[in-house]
Amino acid sequence: MTKEKRPLILIVDDVARNLQILGSFLREAGYDVSAVTSGKQALEITNDVHPDLILLDIMMPELDGFETCRRLKDDDATREIPVIFLTAKTAEEDILRGFELGAVDYITKPFQRRELIKRVHVHVELRRSREELARMVIEKDKLFSIIAHDLRGPLGSFMSIADYVTEHLDELDIAELKPLFREMRQTSKSVYGLLENLLDWSRIQLGTVHFHSQAFPLHAVATNVVSVVGMQAKRKELTLENLIPEDLNVCGDKRMISTVLRNLVSNAIKYTPRGGHVTMEVETHDTTGQITVLVRDTGVGMSEEIQSSLFNGLQLHSLPGTEKEKGTGLGLLLCREMIAMHGQKLMVESAIGEGSTFSFSLEAA
């Protein structure tokens, strides 16, 4: 357990010797400990310290463990904190009452160190797993909501144009049809790119993407990216340059790196105003044998707040581009996960009004 992530256990017992023994066991096992001597104190402190688990004595004056547990479970803020009863009672009705009040387990006195630590560990990990699963469900629901919203727009536009052309085909000449078909083509490419990203991301989540490292020329991959998104840059009158040396070979999954560069460059184009500049370039590090790949733009940039939250879990940023281009933020999430599969991190440096630079490292071949 790392120091900053040590679980916190709250011990509630009116016997000082029990607090001393339990605290010693738990600290030696790598837990942080907070201790109080009454149920009333437990109720007062729980909202402040947010323990990962509560060890709660049953037999206490004023407010016994059963009533303390009941009040904890009646409070939305503390309901999900697992409670393990500490008891000398082994009568079946007392144990059942504890479970009925919401306790997850019980430990009998005198305490057995190994049993205590094992039970605490199991329930702390169960709680963390439930919290992580709940967080992922919420984030994924948000992700799919965003994707559905952003699919509806271009598909609706596509269908509207198709309906218009179908109804007026006999009246339209070629000059009137060309811009309509260009719009349909661009819309279909946008939808295709979104679905491609979604499929890649889904495969990563399901563990069906196989990482295949090989040596390959990075310049050639970047050149292909230019051919894919070049029209996107041309429409915004941007300069898009591949400054990666032709003789530079790197090690990595070629398909993934191509997907990462395509998404990063497409993002850079989206947030760069007309007349701006987007480049793909590298920095070599002779001492480490690594190559840093950079995608730079002269776009609108980002605040420090957005930068710090950009790679936070499944959080997505889908701000409109300089010409109201829409996006889900899924591409950036995909980039982060693909670079992580290379054992590296996706980094960003940005300043509002000055542009952004996204970078990641690869091993030189």
Q: What is the pLDDT of residues 74-130, one digit of tens each?
A: 999 999 999 999 987 666 788 889 899 999 999 988 888 999 999 999 999 999 998
In a domain, 123, yes or no: no
181 & 91 share domain: no
Which pLDDT value is given to residue 316? 54
The pLDDT of 284-296, averaged and rounded, is: 89
In a domain, 160, yes or no: yes
CA-nearest of 182, 225, 212, 364 to 286 is 364
pLDDT-derived band at 3 (thresholds 50, 70, 90) equals very low
* Neighbour-count burial for 325-358, b at 16+ CB within 10 Å, e otherwise: bbbbbbbbbbbebbbeebebebbbebeeeebbbb
347 & 233 share domain: yes
Tell whether pTM > 0.75: no
47 & 185 share domain: no
Percent of the chain residues topping a pLDDT of 90: 51
197 & 235 share domain: no
Report the SS3 class of residue 128: helix
CATH label of the domain that carries residue 150: 1.10.287.130
- Domain range holding 89? 3-111
Query: In the chain, which residue ranges form alpha helices assigned H by DSSP?
Result: 16-28, 39-49, 65-74, 92-100, 113-168, 174-206, 218-235, 254-270, 304-309, 330-340
- pLDDT tens profile 206-246: 777 788 899 999 999 999 999 888 888 888 999 999 999 99
Tell me which of 147, 174, 209 is where a domain ends. Answer: 209
Which pLDDT value is given to residue 2? 41
Q: Who wins on pLDDT, 332 or 8?
A: 8
What is the average pLDDT score of the chain?
Answer: 86
In a domain, 90, yes or no: yes
Q: Which residues contact 278 (CB under 8 A, 6 or more apart)?
A: 233, 238, 239, 240, 241, 265, 268, 269, 272, 295, 296, 297, 298
pLDDT-derived band at 1 (thresholds 50, 70, 90) equals very low
Which pLDDT value is given to residue 315? 53
280 & 217 share domain: yes
202 & 227 share domain: no
Query: What is the number of structural domains in the chain?
Result: 3
- pLDDT tens profile 29-39: 999 999 999 99
281 & 363 share domain: yes
Q: Give the Cα separation of 330 and 145 in Å (integer).
A: 12
The region of weakest confidence among 1-10, 27-36, 237-246, 253-262 is: 1-10
225 & 350 share domain: yes
Which pLDDT value is given to residue 117? 95
Q: What angle do CA 86, 88, 93 make, to 5 degrees?
A: 90
Which pLDDT value is given to residue 347? 94
Report the SS3 class of residue 61: coil
